[in-house]
Each structure stands twice: as C-alpha cells, then as structure tokens.
Amino acid sequence: MLAEAGSEGIGRDLVSVHGLGAETEADWSNLGSPENYLGYERTQGFVSPGGTARGKHHVYVAPAQMNLNEWALSGDWRVEKEAIMLDNPNGGIVYRFHARDLHLVMRPSLPGTSVRFRVLIDGQALGKAHGTDVDGEGYGTVTEPRMYQLIRQQMPIIDRRFEIEFLGGGAEAFSFTFG
C-alpha cells in the first residue's frame, strides 16, 4: 500500500509484526486485571478511606491490605473527572493486580517538564520484573504524555501489590492497562 501510494524504499515482501515492550501481545491466560480509569467519572475499585474529594486537593492514605483490582492513593492528590493530579512531591498510587504486565498512562502536568518516580512490587525493587520504562531498581521519569510500561513479570504470575511514588510534583495519571 505504501509503495503503491508513491513511497520509495518500501519492500513488497511479507513481514511478521511483533510488538516490543508495551506493544507486546497480552498474556491472556494470566490476565486477571481489567483496564481501569483513574478519574472519578469511570474508575472502579478505589479504596482510600473516605473516597474521593472530587476536584480539590485532599491528602489520601493507602490501606495496608487491599483485594485484587483495588487501588488507592497516598499523599496530596486532586481527583478530577478523567485524571488524578499530583502537584506536590511524594504522592503515590497503590494497585493490587494480576497480570504479566502493568502499564500506566501518564504525563507531566506542564509540557517540557519531567517527573521522576520509583516503582516497587510487593514492597521490593523490581529486579527482572521491570518494564521498559524503568530500571531494575524501579526508577523512571515521566517526560511526555503516553503509556509507560512499568512491570513485565516472569512466571509464575500471581497477585501482586504495585506501588509508584512520584519524587516530584507535577504528574497526572489517567489509566492502568494490563497485559
């Protein structure tokens, strides 16, 4: 099609398409967590005590124990209709999930800025379970609006507790996806 449209240097041989990183096909046999939006309009499973304080700053606490597919905030967040927003450092998100991969759609609040973060799984550094957007210690940086692959587990896939702490303010998060 591209060659027919006038593009040059395009071969006509069939190619196999294999996604890399976050584009890899989901592990359907181990997928026990559905996509979840974080804004108050469409979220499910939010368990921080007191619920959401819609559209205003509120200091949240994450419970020590959570059931599968529940999530919570810690720190000073603003929960809006379609996103959650962290203006101050050291806010976090906790999610109990069951999947090989965990992705988070997020962006810096101000274009051209960045926000460092650290991810833990079951309270530990990620090691070999790190996704393409974090290192083995779980450190990464939000630099642009996109989906970030934070966890890519090895077998066996079991229920896990994901934690992300933003080391600076100015982050927005929109949804979790799993694969």
What the block records as the tokens of 78 is 């603003």
Question: Is there a contact between 151 and 159 (Cβ–Cβ < 8 Å)?
Answer: no
Task: Decide if 26 contacts 178 (C-beta within 8 A).
Answer: yes
pLDDT at residue 108 above 70? Answer: yes
pLDDT tens figures, 95-105: 999 999 999 99
Kindly state the average pLDDT of the residues 23-30: 67
Which architecture characterizes domain 27-178 according to CATH?
Answer: Sandwich (2.60)
SS3 assignment for the chain = CCCCCCCCCCCCCCCCCCCCHHHCCCCHHHCCCCCEECCCCCCCCECCCCCCCECCEEEECCCCCCCCCCEEEEEEEEECCCCEEECCCCEEEEEEECCCEEEEEEEECCCCCCEEEEEEECCECCHHHECCCCCCCCEEEECCCEEEEEEECCCCCCCEEEEEEECCCCEEEEEEEEC
pLDDT digits 0-9 by tens, 45-76: 999 999 999 989 999 999 999 999 999 999 99
Q: What is the pLDDT of residue 176?
A: 96
Instruction: Give the tens place of pLDDT for each residue, 142-153.
Output: 999 999 999 999
Mean pLDDT across 94-123 = 96
Q: How confident is the model at residue 15 (pLDDT cuts 50, 70, 90)?
A: very low
Question: What's the rounded Cα separation, in Å, for the pair 172 and 7?
Answer: 39
